[in-house]
Amino acid sequence: MARLFKFLLAAGLALGALVVFLYLVPSDQYIFLPDRAQPLAPYVTLKGERPDRDGGGIYYVAVEVKKASVLEKLFHGLHEGSTLVPAAAVRAPGESEKQHEHQELQAMAESQEIGAAVALRSLGYRVPVDSPGTVVADVNPKGPSAGKLSPSDMIVSVDGHPTPFLPDLRRAIGSHRPGERVQLKVRHGSKVSSITVKTTSDPQDEKRAIIGILTSCALQQATRIALPVPVHIDLGQVGGPSAGLAFALDVVEELGHDVDRGNKVAATGEMCLDGTVAPVGGLKQKTIGARRAGADVFLVPSGENTQEARRYAGDMRVIPVKSFRQALHALATLRQK
């Protein structure tokens, strides 16, 4: 009996040591984990802000992203709401961890500036913006721009007309009939060139001309935004652009407008300068984080983001939005708490 006890003890210790070892050794994949939603007010400082006394608040949601251990890769059900993803889905080819972290923090800084600009414009402030062009986020490999445009290229003009913002680009291309050619002036790094692209029909509207690209809300280095009201937002090492909608809502709230109507309002979505709310990633984890924080409503970009959020929302209400104006209108119809 004593020998059996010693054997079981040794086996247990060995198994425990193996589990600890597997938990400490990183795998070749990343893991997304829910992070509890947090109120934004303590992290936002602006001139003229007023205290919110109705018990509500605007909440931002983030996703904890880290290298998955071998144990987490083998048993990814160890954490509620976790998702395993390949490294290629997190970091660009050849991009180091430090470079990726820098890019994420840069995207966060841009989203704060854009969110503040959109919020102040909605309140009637004049917010001058100087932008050199519209950024290409992705190119359809089967579309007319394949092989001619690349992600991160900047479209400066269409047919000689400047396209500093996304609406300008859409109008310029949309003024053509599908099948017609457009002349693009494109900046790639320090090089500027002229490119001719034949338009094609939008699958959603055959009468609308497109060139097969996705555009980004990211700012170019040369873009300048002059905020009439100083706004400072500090979330430390939290990165990424997905809190833009929450930033914009909180700025309006803190300037004395009852956006939340006493409700706990969680929000996610990349904010574009024209007020468009763009889709983001990690909706599974963000929805769980908002639910854990006791949010009454969760504002998310319409489409696939909304469908994903509703799968994990439980009793929490999910509100799809396409623009900041629509978000404000949806919140204005909430019951006052």
pLDDT average, residue stretch 102-114: 85
Residue 178 forms part of a structural domain: yes
The answer on 254 and 113 residing in a single domain is: yes
Place of tokens 């009201």: 229
- CA distances in angstroms from 160 to 77, 146, 267, 279, listed in the order given: 55, 22, 38, 30
Say if residue 240 is in the same domain as residue 107. yes
Whether residue 165 lies inside any domain: the answer is: yes
Q: Are residues 163 and 184 in the same domain?
A: yes
Q: Does the pLDDT of residue 308 top 90, yes or no?
A: yes
What DSSP letter does each residue of 235-291 carry, written as one string?
Answer: -TT--SSTTHHHHHHHHHHHTT--SSTTSEEEE--EEPTTSBEE--S-HHHHHHHHH
151 confidence band (pLDDT: 50, 70, 90): confident
Which domain-ending residue is among 166, 187, 216? 216
194, 216, 238 - which closes a domain = 216
Q: Domain ends where: 216, 247, 267? A: 216
Mean pLDDT, residues 145-153:
90
Q: With 80 as the cut, is the pLDDT of residue 39 above it?
A: yes
Q: How confident is the model at residue 21 (pLDDT cuts 50, 70, 90)?
A: very low
**To 10 degrees, the CA torsion angle through 137, 267, 84, 71?**
140
Same domain (yes/no): 143, 289: no
Q: What is the mean pLDDT of the chain?
A: 85
Residue partners of 243: CB distance under 8 A and separation at least 6:
60, 61, 62, 108, 111, 112, 115, 235, 268
Considering the domain boundaries, does residue 19 fall inside one? Answer: no
State the average pLDDT over residues 300-328.
96
Same domain, 272 and 163: no
**Total of domains in the chain:** 2
Instruction: State pLDDT tens for residues 227-265.
Output: 998 888 888 878 888 899 999 999 999 998 899 999 999
For residue 77, name the pLDDT band (cuts at 50, 70, 90). low
Q: What is the CATH number of the domain that holds 177?
A: 2.30.42.10
Residues 119 and 267 in one domain: yes
Q: Are residues 254 and 304 in the same domain?
A: yes
**CATH number of the domain where residue 264 is located:** 3.30.230.10
Confidence of residue 26 (pLDDT cuts 50, 70, 90): low
Q: How do residues 153-194 score in pLDDT, each as one tens digit?
A: 999 999 999 988 888 888 999 999 999 999 999 998 889 999
Model pLDDT, residue 320: 98
Are 112 and 147 members of one domain? Answer: no
**Can you give the residue range of the structural domain that contains 257?**
34-63+97-126+226-332
Q: Which of 35, 26, 57, 42 is nearest to 240 (CA)?
A: 35
In a domain, 84, yes or no: no
Asked whether residue 156 falls in the same domain as residue 208, the answer is yes
Percent of the chain predicted with pLDDT > 90:
47
Does 52 have pLDDT greater than 90?
no
Q: Is residue 249 part of a domain?
A: yes
Do residues 134 and 120 both lie within one domain? no
Span 128-144, mean pLDDT? 88
The pLDDT, as a whole number, for residue 240 is 84
